[in-house]
């Protein structure tokens, strides 16, 4: 099998990723691994390159070396091709998807990891391996990038600062019609609707504390907007810790498909890629990608 390391040189502000290249070179040489390193040049370059390699049909494992954005590109480049596997070496600022597997940067543990089939969420021609969302949290995601540029500000702190700014500015009401599996309909003012394949996003916010990316289900978390910005602020730490499911404003459904319709353009977030839409459908793709779980990961015991 070919091993290709997709390196995003600007992930996590660049230092850790660039230092890691020599680690990759040393390991692959010492272990006589059939390997290449590809350093991405711009946004979407990783996805383009991965698909270009994947469509040749050779058995290949792609190692996403960066953050969640790099993983998004690698997954979207190769998920249609059964000859491909994906591993995730977390070197970004948030690294939310890998929290379930342990933030392991040891190359040997990934090379000797356990390939497993994981679900994906398809929406508008792209897929998410971690999460999708519409509403307030997607507004937060859009603004998070500017806070990440501040020296010493982590992905988690950037998300928190952006969340506080959005709440204070009143980005808290979205008139949504949410349809679950074509049968159950919810219509109200919502803070947001989180459509989770896994548990964390925003640099450590535990949005869907019970989600598993291999259970054949989406965890849909809907939070109604029924209070002022000042009364919302105390809920932020609860949300961060995953203690929001029992709130009276929270509705939880586990399903295969979610459709969200908005009265006016609302922010949508697909593994950190954001846009504004009035309607979006999210469909589970069961066992859609082979993901390499690092050796000795706690996930293997779940």
Domains located in the chain, CATH noted? 2-112 (3.40.50.10330), 131-286 (2.60.200.40)
Percentage of the chain modeled with pLDDT above 90: 76
**Rounded CA Rg of the chain:** 19
The model carries a pTM of 0.92
| pLDDT per position as a tens digit, 250-266 | 999 999 999 999 999 99
| pLDDT per position as a tens digit, 173-185 | 899 999 999 999 9
- Which of 299, 285, 286, 270 minimizes the C-alpha distance to 99? 299
- Res 219 pLDDT > 90: yes
Task: Give Cα 241 distance to the centre of its chain.
Answer: 17
Contact 220, 255 (CB under 8 A): yes
Percentage of the chain modeled with pLDDT above 70: 95
pLDDT at 234: 87
Mean pLDDT of the chain: 92
* Other CB atoms within 10 A of residue 196 CB: 26
What is the spatial distance between Cα 33 and Cα 56, in angstroms, rounded to a whole number? 20
Name the range with the highest mean pLDDT among 11-15, 193-197, 198-202.
193-197
pLDDT at 119: 98
φ, ψ for residue 130 (rounded to 5)?
Answer: -105, -60
Mean pLDDT to the nearest integer, 45-65:
98
pLDDT at 295: 96
- Res 74 pLDDT > 70: yes
The least confident of 134-138, 164-168, 212-216 is 164-168
């Amino acid at each position: 099998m070919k091993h290709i390391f997709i390196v995003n040189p600007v992930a996590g502000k660049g230092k850790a990723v660039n230092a890691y290249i020599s680690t990759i070179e040393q390991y692959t040489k010492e272990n006589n691994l059939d390997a290449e390193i590809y350093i991405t040049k711009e946004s979407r370059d990783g996805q383009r390159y991965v698909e270009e390699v994947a469509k040749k049909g050779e058995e290949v494992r792609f190692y996403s070396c960066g953050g969640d954005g790099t993983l998004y590109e690698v997954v979207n480049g190769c998920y249609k091709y059964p000859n491909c596997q994906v591993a995730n070496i977390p070197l970004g600022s948030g690294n939310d998807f890998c929290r379930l597997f342990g933030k392991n940067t040891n190359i040997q543990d990934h090379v000797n990891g356990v390939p497993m089939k994981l679900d994906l969420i398809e929406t508008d021609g792209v897929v998410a391996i971690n999460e999708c969302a519409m509403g307030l949290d997607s507004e937060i995601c859009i603004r998070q990038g500017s806070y990440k540029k501040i020296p010493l500000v982590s992905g988690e702190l950037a998300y928190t600062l952006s969340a506080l700014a959005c709440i204070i500015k009143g980005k808290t009401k979205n008139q949504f019609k949410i349809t679950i599996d074509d049968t159950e309909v919810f219509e109200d003012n919502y803070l947001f609707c989180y459509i989770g394949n896994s548990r964390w996003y925003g640099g450590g916010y535990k949005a869907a504390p019970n989600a598993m990316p291999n259970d054949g289900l989406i965890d849909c978390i809907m939070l109604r907007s029924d209070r002022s910005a000042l009364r919302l602020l105390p809920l932020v730490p609860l949300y961060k810790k995953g203690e929001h499911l029992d709130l009276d404003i929270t509705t939880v459904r586990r399903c295969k498909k979610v459709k969200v319709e908005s009265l006016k353009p609302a922010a949508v977030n697909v593994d950190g890629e954001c846009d504004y839409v009035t309607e979006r459908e999210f469909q589970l793709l069961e066992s859609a990608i082979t993901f390499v779980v690092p050796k000795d990961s706690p996930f293997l015991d779940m």
